[in-house]
């Protein structure tokens, strides 16, 4: 058992960092995802996603979720010793070497549900790999609330989808998120063997009359663009059903045989999206994801650069409209 875990830890050595160990130790201490999230100043959904992803990276279960409070599995108990030693050793290294230092003690980032689910976890990992001594603080709120927190210097930066463009703040467009219409396999509009991105012009919008639509209300920018599309095409708003997260919207799209409006990045990570048809509904329904900050620093510029690189690497969507089928 010990050798099994050790082999998997070695495999994950290049993707395991200080925050992984800190998150693990905090969960082990509090025996609760919500309490751990509170102590770490991050959201409960974020740390739950982190725990699942980290277990996949290691190839073994660390937490027994079948009972409350959460308990460590047998491998979790073994990993506990290594996590403690990892933190102790790294602290000793950085007490003696002046490398990877940051002028910030805490790097606080605000995020909406859209970037918090798909982009920020990877960006944070990259930040911590370059600045291993820094502590991260993640706040998940609405774009309006996040922008206000940046103005009040409660956050170093935030990724938002709406902005009032205050003159004392800096704004950088990170990426343009396409709104995609997903048609599930059992729907009458589904086209066999056409799971890649299809131009919305390939069928008549009259075919959409009377159909039911889903949109994620926890991602207000996508929800608003969905409403705008229905209004522009004279489709009844009574047929729009608001769901919660993007993941729930995609799941219900398949289970309930309804058409869904979701961000393209959501489909990139979704199995349900990949077995459906998805239609790019047009440039006018895209959503700009914006990095907002008051005073720049190298950590902020790195975070923006990495977020842009992540977006550019999404391979399942064409970069130009001419590339659509």
pLDDT, one tens digit per residue, over 82-95 is: 888 887 776 666 55
| Stretch 167-189: mean pLDDT | 88
pLDDT for residue 267 is more than 60 = yes
pLDDT at 170: 94
Q: Which CATH class is domain 179-285?
A: alpha beta
Quick one: average pLDDT of 51-76? 90
Residue 273 binned pLDDT confidence (cut-offs 50, 70, 90): very low
The stretch 281-309 carries a mean pLDDT of 89
| pLDDT band at residue 178 using 50, 70 and 90 as cut-offs | confident
In percent, the amount of the chain with pLDDT more than 90 equals 17
pLDDT higher than 90, residue 72: yes
* Per-residue pLDDT tens digits for 84-143: 888 777 666 655 655 455 566 788 999 887 777 777 877 887 888 788 778 888 888 888
Instruction: Please compute the mean of the pLDDT values over residues 18-27 and round it to a whole number.
Output: 84
Task: Decide if domain 108-128+139-175+290-312 falls under CATH 3.30.70.260.
Answer: no
Question: Can you give the pLDDT at residue 243?
Answer: 87
| pLDDT 10s digits, 209-265 | 888 899 988 888 888 899 998 888 888 888 899 988 888 888 898 889 899 998 887
Confidence of residue 6 (pLDDT cuts 50, 70, 90): very low
Contact criterion met (CB below 8 Å) for 276 and 182: yes
The overall pTM is greater than 0.85: no
Under 8 Å between Cβ of 303 and 155: no
The pLDDT assigned to 1 comes to: 47
Average pLDDT of the residues in 17-36: 86
Q: Using a pLDDT cut of 70, give the percent of the chain over it.
A: 79
* Residue of 12 and 41 predicted with greater confidence: 41
Indicate where the chain has its CATH 3.40.190.10 domain(s).
Answer: 108-128+139-175+290-312, 179-285
- What pLDDT, on a 0 to 100 scale, did the predictor assign at position 315? 43
CATH architecture of 2-96: Orthogonal Bundle (1.10)
Confidence of residue 204 (pLDDT cuts 50, 70, 90): low
Stretch(es) of the chain classified as CATH 1.10.10.10: 2-96
What was the pLDDT predicted at 274? Answer: 53
| Full 3-state SS string of the chain | CHHHHHHHHHHCCCCCCHHHHHHHHHHHHHCCHHHHHHHHCCCHHHHHHHHHHHHHHHCCCCEECCCCCCEECHHHHHHHHHHHHHHHHHHHHHHHCCCCCCCCCEEEEEECHHHHHHCHHHHHHHHHHHCCCCEEEEEECCHHHHHHHHHCCCCCEEEECCCCCCCCCEEEEEEEECEEEEECCCCCCCCCCCCCEEEHHHCCHHHHCCCCEEEECCCHHHHHHHHHHHHHCCCCHHHEEEECCHHHHHHHHHHHCCEEEEEHHHHHCCHHHHCCEEEECCHHHCEEEEEEECCCCHHHHHHHHHHHHHHHCCCCCCCCHHHCC
Residue 150 in this model has a pLDDT that exceeds 90: yes
């Amino acid at each position: 058992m010990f050798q099994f875990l050790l082999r998997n830890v070695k495999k994950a050595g290049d993707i395991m960092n200080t925050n992984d160990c800190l998150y693990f130790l905090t969960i082990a201490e509090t025996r609760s995802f919500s309490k751990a999230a509170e102590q770490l100043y991050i959201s409960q959904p974020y740390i739950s996603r982190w725990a699942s992803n980290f277990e996949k990276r290691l190839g073994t279960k660390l937490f027994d979720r079948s009972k409350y409070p959460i308990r460590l599995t047998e491998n979790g108990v073994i990993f506990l010793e290594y996590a403690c030693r990892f933190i102790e050793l790294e602290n000793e290294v950085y007490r003696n070497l002046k490398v990877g230092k940051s002028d910030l003690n805490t790097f606080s980032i605000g995020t909406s549900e859209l970037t918090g689910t798909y982009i920020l976890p990877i960006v944070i990992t990259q930040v911590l790999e370059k600045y291993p001594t820094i502590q991260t603080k993640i706040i998940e709120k609405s774009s309006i609330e996040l922008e206000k927190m940046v103005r009040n210097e409660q956050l170093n930066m935030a990724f938002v989808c709406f902005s009032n463009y205050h003159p004392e703040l800096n704004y950088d467009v990170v990426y343009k998120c396409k709104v995609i219409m997903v048609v599930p396999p059992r729907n009458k509009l589904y086209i066999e063997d056409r799971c890649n991105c299809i131009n919305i012009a390939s069928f008549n919008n009259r075919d959409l009359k009377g159909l039911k639509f889903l949109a994620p209300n926890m991602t207000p920018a996508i929800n608003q663009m969905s409403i705008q599309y229905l209004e522009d095409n004279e489709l009844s708003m009574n047929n729009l059903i608001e769901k919660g997260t993007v993941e729930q919207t995609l799941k219900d799209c398949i289970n309930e045989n309804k058409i869904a409006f979701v961000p393209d990045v959501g489909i990139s990570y979704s199995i349900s999206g990949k077995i459906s048809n998805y239609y790019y509904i047009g440039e006018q329904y895209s959503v700009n994801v914006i990095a907002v900050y008051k005073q720049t620093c190298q950590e902020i510029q790195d975070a923006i650069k990495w977020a842009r690189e992540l977006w550019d690497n999404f391979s399942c969507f064409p970069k130009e409209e001419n590339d659509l089928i």
